[in-house]
Structure 1
Amino acid sequence: QRPPPPGQTAPPPRPQRPPRQAAPADTPPSQQDAPRERRQALPGETVAPAPDETVIAPPRQRINNPTAVFSGLDKITGRIISFDVAIDETVQFGALQVTPRICYTRPPTETPQTTSFVEVDEVTLNGEVRRIYGGWMFAASPGLSGVEHSIYDVWLTDCKQTAPLVQGQAPAPPAAAPAAQAPPPQRR
C-alpha cells in the first residue's frame, strides 16, 4: 500500500468481513442450504431479490392492429403527408407503393413500442415495379428503419385499431352499436 500524498491523511481501513463458517457436521443437509428468509417490504419500498433468486419477467404483450400510419416526405416540394394503410393493402405515395404486412403496438402499461413489417416497391419510369425495402420499421427510431429514396422518404409513425377512411367512402359503423332507443315523447 502506498503512503498518502503530502498534506493528506490515509483513509480509514475497510472493515473485514468474518469468513463464512461451514455448518456443523451434525446439521441435516436440508437445513445447511436453506435460503435466508426475505424481509417483507414496507409500503412504498421495494426489496431487491436475493442474489441466488432468479426473477423472470412476464412475456411482453403485442397488440395486433388493422391499420398502420405512415408519414411521407416529398423532397421536391418539401411537404410531409401522413397516410393510413390497412394491413395487406397497398397505397401509392409518389412513385412508391407501401404495403404493411403487420403492425404491432404494446399496451399502455408497458414501454411503448410500435413496429410494422413493411414492403416498399418503386414504380420506375418504364412502368417496372422493383422492391426497394422489405423489413421491420420502428416508430421510435425512424432514421434507423425508414425508407430513404432519392425523391421520397417514408417512415412508420403509429398503428391504429380503426380501419383507414378511403376518400369518397362513408365511415364504417361502430362494431357494437347500442340498441335503438325510442324517440322521446312529444309534449302537446
Structure 2
Amino acid sequence: MKLSLRKLVVGVVAAVSVLAGEGARAARISNPVAVFAGIDKITGRITTFDVYLDETVQYGALQVTPKVCYSRDETEAQKVDAFVEVDEITLDRKIRRIFSGWMFADSPGLNAVEHPIYDVWLTGCKDKSDIPPPKTN
C-alpha cells in the first residue's frame, strides 16, 4: 500500500512538472493589429477601432499608437496586453503625451486612458483587420 501511494504521489508530481514546463514554454504571440474601444463622454457613443502597430489613429482629440500587442495561443488563458502611447491634441494645437505604458484587455480599468472627454482602452489583438494595412515606403 505504501509503495503504490508513493508511486501515485511521484506520478502526480511528474505530471504537474510536465504541465508546468509546457506552460512556461508557451510564448506570447505578437500581433500586428491592436483593437481599442473608445467612448465620447459628451455623446455617449462607444467606438471600436483597429490600429496597426507603430501607426497612429486619431480618436477625437487623442492620437493612439500601439507599439506591441501580445496574446496567447488557444491552449492558454487569453491575457492580451499592449504597449501604447496616447497623445492629446490641445486647443492650441500642441501635442502632449498623456499616456505611455501597458494596457491589459482583461483589466480595462487598470491602465485605460481617461481624458475629460474621451476614454480609450484595449479590447484585443488580432492578426488581420478589415482596414487595409498602412502603405510602406
Per the normalisation by structure 1, the TM-score is: 0.60
Partners of 1:81 and 1:129 in 2: how far apart? 22
Asked which structure has the greater CA Rg, the reply is 1
Partners of 1:164 and 1:123 in 2: how far apart? 27
Find out whether 1:134 has 2:117 as its counterpart: no
Which stretches of structure 1, 4 residues or longer, exceed 4 Å deviation after superposition?
A: none
**Greater relative contact order (Cα 8 A, min sep 6): structure 1 or 2?**
2
* Residue 45 of structure 2: aligned partner: 79
- One-letter amino acid of the counterpart of residue 115, structure 2: H
Return the structure number with greater helix share. 2
Find out whether 1:111 has 2:80 as its counterpart: no
Query: Where does 1:37-76 land on structure 2 (aligned, <5 Å)?
Result: 38-39=6-7, 47-49=11-13, 55=17, 57-58=20-21, 59=24, 60-76=26-42
* Residue 131 of structure 2: aligned partner: 165
The count of corresponding residues between Structure 1 and Structure 2 is 124
Question: CA offset at residue 55 of structure 1?
Answer: 3.7
- One-letter amino acid of the counterpart of residue 158, structure 1: G
Partners of 1:69 and 1:140 in 2: how far apart? 13
Q: Identity percentage over the alignment?
A: 57
Q: 5+ residue gaps in structure 1?
A: 1-36, 42-46, 167-188
How large is the RMSD of aligned CA atoms in angstroms? 2.4
1:152 is aligned, of 109, 118, 122, to 118
Return the structure number with greater strand share. 2
- One-letter amino acid of the counterpart of residue 83, structure 1: F
Residue deviations 1:138-175 (CA, integer Å, cap 9, x gap): 00000011000000000000101004515xxxxxxxxx
Question: CA offset at residue 106 of structure 1?
Answer: 0.3
